[in-house]
Chains A and B, each alone.
Chain A
Amino acid sequence: MTIPALAPTVRAPRLTYRAREEIAGWLLAGPWILGFLLFTAGPMIASIWLSFTSWDLLGAPKMVGLANYIRLFTDDPSVWRSLRVTTVYAFTSVPLAVGLGLLVAMLLNENIRLQGLFRTVYYLPSVVSGVAVALLWRWLFSPDFGLINAFLAVFGIRGPAWLSDSNWALPALIIMSVWGVGSGMVIYLAGLQGVPTALYEAAELDGANGVQRFWNITVPMISPVIFFQAIMGIIGALQTFTQAFIMTDGGPKEATLFYLLYLYRNGWVYLKMGYASALAWVLFIYIMILTLLILRSSAAWVYYEGSTRR
């Protein structure tokens, strides 16, 4: 991750001020640091320990060694199914969001009128989220009376049963995710507006066509932004929960059994706190590995202007 350069600090005239600054610095950052220790760092350590125990919230946790992990990898097909579902979702919805968001941003970046209005309209869906949106899309995907199948019927297509069809439930959730491309679009638009016009003019003089300009100027110039969006998007998508919980409850036939939903069930429905902790750590490590892989690959395709950014 890129750490923005820290501000040049002032040389204090008196030592006492320096000392006061040191103390005040720790004190003011103190609440956040304390909160981090209490609600993030502490629980993370506790979670490692819990993952080696068996515990149903009654009595004391029982040490079981690696049993949770062994079961998870060798004796629980739902783990693999949920990992697959979640990965497929993340690696289709995020590229779609990046591609479409970039497309809309490029269209808006043409000198068009009402740019602000368009931007608002496209951004609006990503302002709302959660249960209300999930309910809305359940209704849109309704097989017999939903708007989406009504639209398909206009073209004589008989739409699938979407959320109640195990082949179409996951694609339905991916389609729904596309509705939120607006948040990425706003960011790409800002990035595009920072690309120097001179680059395009020079390329045009050299006879580069639109496609060449896109791949050789636009993409490299805003690749850091795309990269950051892709990473944050994938991390977020791997933790999808609400849609699956409200719209499909993991079904049909575990076709939308998202990992976090499975974790929730183990923890708060079956009350297997140790096993759920092990599940949490497996997802955590999986996310870290994916992030590292993307980071590694970034050297090949992310272009940082100047060398200050990395």
Chain B
Amino acid sequence: MTPISLSGLARSGTGQSKITPDPAPRAGFWASRRRQQAVRFLFVYALLIAGAIAVSIPFVWMVSTSLKNLGQVFLFPPQWIPQPFVWRNYYDALTVVPYGRFFLNTIIITGISIAGIMLSSSLAAYSFSRLRWRGRDVVFIIVLATMMLPTQVTLIPQFIIFRNLKWIDTFLPLIVPTLFGTAYQVFLLRQFFMTIPLEMDEAARMDGCSILGIYWRIILPLSKPALMTGALFAFRFRWDQFLEPLIFLNTPRNFTIALGLRLFQDQNLTNWNLLMAASCVSMLPVLLTFFFGQKYFIQGVVISGVKG
């Protein structure tokens, strides 16, 4: 897969014990350093493969269950390969509750949110990384502090504000706050913008480029990977969000996928095949974006985790 390429994290040969002097050889099988090394590697691979299997099994099990009929779901010991494959489960799972509607709702909410988050956050990040203004450093510390702030303190007053605005049971409480940008994305983009040489700005300014022009023509085009990362993270987070939709949305026709799944769970308590089919479908968009944008995902984790 793609190596991490940001800020010197590039993977270069970091073999830990390549240049080591051979200590005085002992007799017997273990004498050779090479053999010792081989056994060690065998051990490492065994552990890694065992772990990888353990970590993937839940996914395999989910797909397998989603294709069984109920009789097979409740077999003990469980079977891995469904017989027969019941593809109809997916049709049933998606039609018992208005899943299409939930999908559409979630796409509308996440789509608008992501656009707003990326625009406002990138402007703020540009301001924090490129412009000099009084109070900048203090405000940036507040940005960092908000990332660590537990959200539950603001939840109740927010609910009351939106209730007074008659926004409850609309998408607005889920969309509007995000249009102002989010601390995580501001931080991520600022960190990236800092790596763009200042000479670029200066040259553009000499040529008569305005402050906004520099943002639009220099900074944004050079930051596509970071923008991608920020957008993917926003997507993943918004797609799975549960507590906020639970509080702000009431009627099923406005539900997001997360709420729809819960509704579905309450209606189909032991229909595990249908429940797994529905779970599978709702995970799919995030899994697909991960496979296509893996590089950006991992960069995002690394930037925000290592340099915090």
Decide: A50 and B157 in contact? CB cutoff 8 A.
yes
Q: B201 touches which one: A10, A119, A131 (CB < 8 A)?
A: A10
Render B177-208 as a binary contact track against A, CB cut-off 8 A, 1 for contact. Answer: 10111010010000100100010011001000
Q: B76 touches which one: A119, A144, A273 (CB < 8 A)?
A: A144
Decide if A139 is an interface residue (CB 8 Å cutoff): yes
Q: Knowing A22-B133, A25-B133, A107-B48 touch, does A239 contact B152 (C-beta < 8 A)?
A: yes
Residues of B within 8 A of A116 (CB): 1-3
For the complex, give the distance between the alpha carbons of A228 and B141 in Å: 16
Q: Knowing A10-B202, A124-B287, A139-B276 touch, does A40 contact B156 (C-beta < 8 A)?
A: no
Decide: B153 and A281 in contact? CB cutoff 8 A.
yes
Q: Knowing A131-B258, A132-B282 touch, does A145 contact B76 (C-beta < 8 A)?
A: yes
Q: Knowing A21-B211, A201-B20, A235-B148 touch, does A47 contact B140 (C-beta < 8 A)?
A: no
Decide: A145 and B306 in contact? CB cutoff 8 A.
no
Decide if B283 is an interface residue (CB 8 Å cutoff): yes
Decide if B73 is an interface residue (CB 8 Å cutoff): yes
Q: Chain B nearest CB: distance from A222 CB in Å?
A: 9
> Which of B24-32, B53-61, B81-89 is found at the contact surface with chain A?
B53-61
For the complex, give the distance between the alpha carbons of A27 and B83 in Å: 63
Residues of A within 8 A of B95 (CB): none
Q: A130 touches which one: B48, B59, B240 (CB < 8 A)?
A: B240
Which range holds the interface residue count of chain A? 35 or more
Residues of B within 8 A of A72 (CB): none
- Beyond A121-B56, A228-B305: 19 further Cβ-contacts under 8 Å? A17-B205, A22-B133, A28-B131, A31-B181, A38-B180, A39-B180, A43-B154, A43-B157, A135-B275, A136-B62, A140-B61, A142-B272, A144-B76, A187-B305, A205-B21, A241-B243, A267-B155, A268-B247, A283-B150
Decide if B52 is an interface residue (CB 8 Å cutoff): yes
Decide: B154 and A47 in contact? CB cutoff 8 A.
yes
Decide: A2 and B297 in contact? CB cutoff 8 A.
no
Render B9-23 as a binary contact track against A, CB cut-off 8 A, 1 for contact. Answer: 101111111011100
Decide if A60 is an interface residue (CB 8 Å cutoff): no
Q: Knowing A122-B52, A139-B65 touch, does A24 contact B305 (C-beta < 8 A)?
A: no
Decide if A111 is an interface residue (CB 8 Å cutoff): yes
